[in-house]
Structures are given as structure tokens and as C-alpha cells.
Chain A
Amino acid sequence: MEIIICILAGILFATGVYNILQKQLLRIAIGTGLISHAAHLFILTMGKLKRGQPPIIEEGITNYTDPLPHALILTSIVISFGVTSVVLVLAYRTINENKTDNMDQLRGNEYE
């Protein structure tokens, strides 16, 4: 199963990157969302899957899934959320100010 999840994460990365390579800002934003999912899946997988109970101590159970990746993913999810919100608002403002959502028109090589 771990291998399947690795492949899934790889596909998420690939689709995310494909979206980032597009012109429209929304697609780029969506792309970043996809790759952060991919990253989280990778972290989870690297701690092995389904090798025990959820990491909440209960008497009589000694076998738990690896709790560290969970903690790392939690931190990462919150951070990604912070960054994503900035990206979105910034994108919103950029589109408003520049009157376009096309990255090709946001290159800025024209003389300013």
C-alpha cells in the first residue's frame, strides 16, 4: 500500500506542477494546493501505514502507528494554510490592481 500511496503522491505532485505551469492565477493556486496534499501524504507514508492503533494511549495496547509524522503533518498543514491564505489574498489584490489574471501579462518586461 505504501508504494501505491507514493505513486498517488507522485501523481498529485505531477498534476500540481502541471497546474503551476499554467497562465491563470487560479490554476497556479490550485496547483500549490495539490502539491501540499502530496507532501503530506508522503510524510504520512514515510512513517509506515496501519502498523498499529491510532496514537492515543490506551491500556493494553502497545502497538501504535508512528505519531511523529502526524505531528509534523499537523504543523505543516497549519503552515500551508497560512501561506495559502496569503497567496490567495495576494493573488486577489494582484488581479485587482493589474486587471488581469494571466501570468503572461504579469511578466513585467515592459518599460516601467
Chain B
Amino acid sequence: MSNLVVLPIIIPLLAGIIIAFFHKKLPIARALSKIFIVINLIVAAYVTYLVFTNGMIVLETGSWQAPYGIVFVADPLSVILVLTTNILTTACLFIAPKLVSDVREKYYFYTFTFLLVSGVSGAFLTGDLFNLFVFFEVLLMASYGLIVLGGGKVQLRESLKYLLINLFSSIIFVTTVAFLYAVVGTVNMAHIAERVQEVEQTGVLTTIGIVLFFVFATKAALFPLYYWMPKSYTVPNPVVSALFGALLTKVGIYSIMRIYTLIFVTDELTSKFFIIIAGLSMLFGVIGALSTNDIKLLMSYNVIPSIGFILLGIALANENGLGGATYYLMHDMIIKTALFLIIGVIVYAAGTADLRKLGGLIHYYPGLGWSLFIATVVLAGIPPLSGFIGKLLLLRGSVENGEIIIIIVALLSSLLILYSVMKIFIQGFWGEKDASFKPVSIRGMLAPIIGLLAVSVFLGIGAEFVYPYINEVAVYLLDPEIYIQAVLKE
């Protein structure tokens, strides 16, 4: 039974390899990619179901008992994220044949995408810190493949910067793993957690924790480490941007969430520090979004504040905070994909990403316009849509901890996020009908987007069906013993 856990990692791995053989035969590659992702989605859903009904599943690979071998741990948090990953990838792969050029599809777009999913799922599921590094490398390498795909001058240039900074942070990551190994003598996360508790987190551990935080924060694009992110998310194909925006930074923030609930304690000093970082991420991200007329760049900047919101939840380290962070994480993965795809379709349809050149698109693409409107409202956290539930929980958590200033910052940044994205609707879609404009067909592009929006709306209006599970995640995260016991079986 527990072997199921590895399937969400292995299926995409195999899918990627198999599709690589058909890379010149696009119809087959496309069909295969859809079949595989749907299979993977079903498996992920099934694993999620199992975890929430029967409890965590721990797989000791090669039957080497923990903490010696590598373990995969399907706990409530990781399965929810794996499931979300698959949902949004499904949407991306269904829109890809329309939005990705044939040349790029032929150059292993599907293989890279599947391996990205494999790496991301691995990162969510692994219970071993060094193995986490390996999965990070898998997903980063896949992302390097995706970002340079068929690129010209600009794309190559930005990819290079992206690559350099990620390479650097990976090296620090692996060094930090070594430091931890020196202190606690193990690389299994549950085991590390147990031993860190025993020594009551000495000073050097706190410092290592902070360095590790910086490593993940760089990947998560938090203030003040996000410089590499906005432009490099702008240059590739929109589907790739969507995958990046939804997955890459989220793996980073997931890792922070994991190590700071399981291994390191969020003491008062760390909590204050995180809250400051969270607040500044909210503000600087949205300031960045306001600074540009390039709608793709605008969207990329909007990735930053949401990571800030999630970090806030981690910093609060109470039930509402962690529940809110989880809810927000899930919501944000879905809605960011939808928004990046919408922006991609707009650029495809209008032929420009310059907001000043857009206008009156609603006369030609009403469906697209209203999708953008709804997505914007979701993003800004307006009730009763999904962004609101997460934000509400985070606000409640903040008040409970007496963190009032961050509430004001969070609300203000919500307003500015709304403004920055609503600008696209007002300037791009409203306005006079331009008779000289020659619309291109966007048939089939809206369906995946609407699918994602439906999920998003459900997460909001149907919160009663979802929130109890998220609350379970929060309660579970607050007690690292459950994880440690499940893995080490003492």
C-alpha cells in the first residue's frame, strides 16, 4: 500500500522519458501527455484520499529502515500540495498545444514539464533533507530546460541570471545540509527534528536554520532575495511562466514551512524577523507590480506578495496562521496558474504585452475579459472566493498573536494588488472598439482557464468542504511529534 506514495513521482518521471522518444511526433506526444497527467492526477487524488482517511503513509525506500534509508512521507500537507500541483499541471498541459509553439513542443517541452512535476512532487514528499536537495536539482534542471527552450537574445540572457542565482543557492543548500549533519549526525528530517529537540536548539542550530531559511527564501522569491525572479518568469512561454509562477516559488516556501514546523522552532525573534520579511515582501512585490506596463512582468511581481502572505502564516505558528498559510498556498498555486495563462492568452490574442497599447479587448474576447476579472477578484482576496478564506485565517491568526501592524500592511497590499491587476482589465479590456483590430482565434484556450477558476471559486464558496481538512493540516503541523513518530516508529 505504501508504495503508492512514490507513484506521483515515478509516473511523471516515466512519462517524461517515454514522451522523449516521441518528441518529433507531436500528436502522439500531446495525447500521451494528457493521458499521463490525468492518470497522475487520479493517483494523487487517491493518495490524498487515503492519507485523510487512514492517516499518514510512510514509505521506506529499498526497505531500509528510517532514519538510514530515504523515506517518502505522505502527510496531509504534502499530499494536498501534490494534488494541487497535478490539478494545475493538467490545466497547463491541456492548454499547451494551443499556446506553445510546435518547435518548442518538439524540443522536449513535455519531457521537461513532466520532470518538473516529478521533482516538485518529490520535494513535497521526501522525508530526507539531502534527498530534498536532489529533488530541488531535478526541478531546477527541468526548469532550466524549460526556460531556455527556443530562446533568443533576451531569453538566454535572463535564463543565465536565473541559473546562476539558483546554482549558487543550491550550493549553499548542500553546504548547510552538511553543517546540520555535523551537529546532529543525520539527514533524515524526522530524525533531525528529534535530535534538535533533544539539544533544545543551540545557537549554532538557529544560525544554520536562518541560512537554510535564506536558501529557501531565495527560491521562494521573498524580500530581499527575489531579484532574479520577475524578469526570468517573464521571458519564457506563458505556459512555462504559469508553471514557474505556480510551482517553483511554492516549493521554496513549502520547504520553509516544513523545516520551521518540524525541525526548528519559531521563537519570538525568528517570528518577528519572518513577519518583517513577510510584510516587506507584500509591499515591495506590489510596488514592483505597479512599476511596470508589461503585463507579464506585472504578474511576475505579484508572485512576491503571496509568498509574503504564506510566510506570515508560518511566522505566526498558530492554528489559524498555519491553516491560513496552507489554504493560501493551495489557492495561490491555482489562481497564479490561471492568471499567468490568462495573461499569456491576452498577449497571444493582442500581440503585445504593453498595457499602453491594449484596449477594448472585451468587444472581441468577452470570455477572456471576464475570466481576468474573476481571477483578479480572487487574487485580491475578495469574498467569497478562495483568496478570502486564506487571508481571513491569516488575519485571525495575526490578531491572536497581537500582530496588528502586519494586518494593516496585509490589507493595504491586498488593495494595491487589486489595483495593479484591475488596471489590466480597465485599460486592456474596457474602452472603445478598435475597428482595425484583427482578432485571432483563441478557441480551446479558455476551457482550462475556466476549469482552474472553477476550482478556485469552489475553494471559496465551498470552503466548508475543504477547510476542515486544512485545519487538520494546521493542527498536525503544530505537533511535530506526529511526523517524527510516524517516520521513526519508536
Residues of A within 8 A of B (CB): 20, 25, 28, 32, 35-36, 38-39, 42-43, 45-47, 68-69, 72, 75-76, 79-80, 82-83, 86-87, 90-91, 93-94, 97-98, 106, 108, 112
Contacts and interface: CB of A to CB of B under 8 A. Distances in A.
Contact of A43 (B154, B157, B170, B174): B174
A106 B168 contact: no
A35 B160 contact: no
Contacts of A75: 130, 134
B164 A83 contact: no
A29 B187 CA distance: 30
Nearest to A96: B156
A106 B175 contact: no
Contacts of A93: 156
B157 A108 contact: yes
A69 B167 contact: no
Contacts of B181: 43, 46-47, 68-69
Contacts of A32: 164, 167-168, 171
A42 B178 contact: yes
Given A86-B144, A90-B156, A112-B154, A79 B134 contact: yes
A44 to B, nearest CB: 8
B179 A46 contact: yes
Nearest to A98: B153
Contacts of A42: 175, 178-179
Contact of B141 (A39, A45, A82, A106): A82
A100 B160 CA distance: 13
A35 B171 contact: yes
Interface string B156-168: 1111110110011
A87 B178 contact: no
Contacts of B168: 20, 32, 35
Given A68-B181, A98-B157, A108-B231, A79 B137 contact: yes
A109 B133 CA distance: 33
14 contacts: A25-B160, A32-B167, A42-B175, A42-B178, A42-B179, A43-B175, A43-B181, A46-B181, A47-B182, A80-B171, A83-B167, A83-B170, A94-B160, A108-B157
B14 interface: no
Nearest to A2: B182
Given A83-B167, A86-B141, A76 B174 contact: yes
B203 interface: no
Nearest to B170: A83
Contact of A46 (B170, B171, B182): B182
Contact of B171 (A25, A36, A69, A94): A36
B141 A97 contact: no
Given A20-B164, A46-B182, A106 B157 contact: yes
B175 A39 contact: yes
B141 A94 contact: no
Nearest to B180: A46
Contacts of A98: 153, 156-157
Contacts of A86: 141, 144, 163
Contacts of B163: 83, 86-87, 90
B180 to A, nearest CB: 9
Given A42-B175, A68-B181, A72-B178, A106 B167 contact: no
Nearest to A109: B231
A11 to B, nearest CB: 14
A25 B160 CA distance: 10
Interface in B387-440: none
Contact of B153 (A46, A47, A97): A97
Nearest to B181: A46
B148 interface: yes
A25 B130 CA distance: 30
Contacts of B158: 108
A94 B157 CA distance: 6
Contacts of B62: none
B184 to A, nearest CB: 11
Given A42-B175, A42-B178, A98-B157, 12 more contacts: A25-B160, A35-B171, A43-B175, A43-B181, A69-B181, A79-B137, A83-B144, A90-B156, A90-B159, A97-B153, A106-B157, A106-B161
Contacts of A79: 134, 137
Given A35-B168, A87-B164, A94 B134 contact: no
Nearest to A13: B175
B185 to A, nearest CB: 9
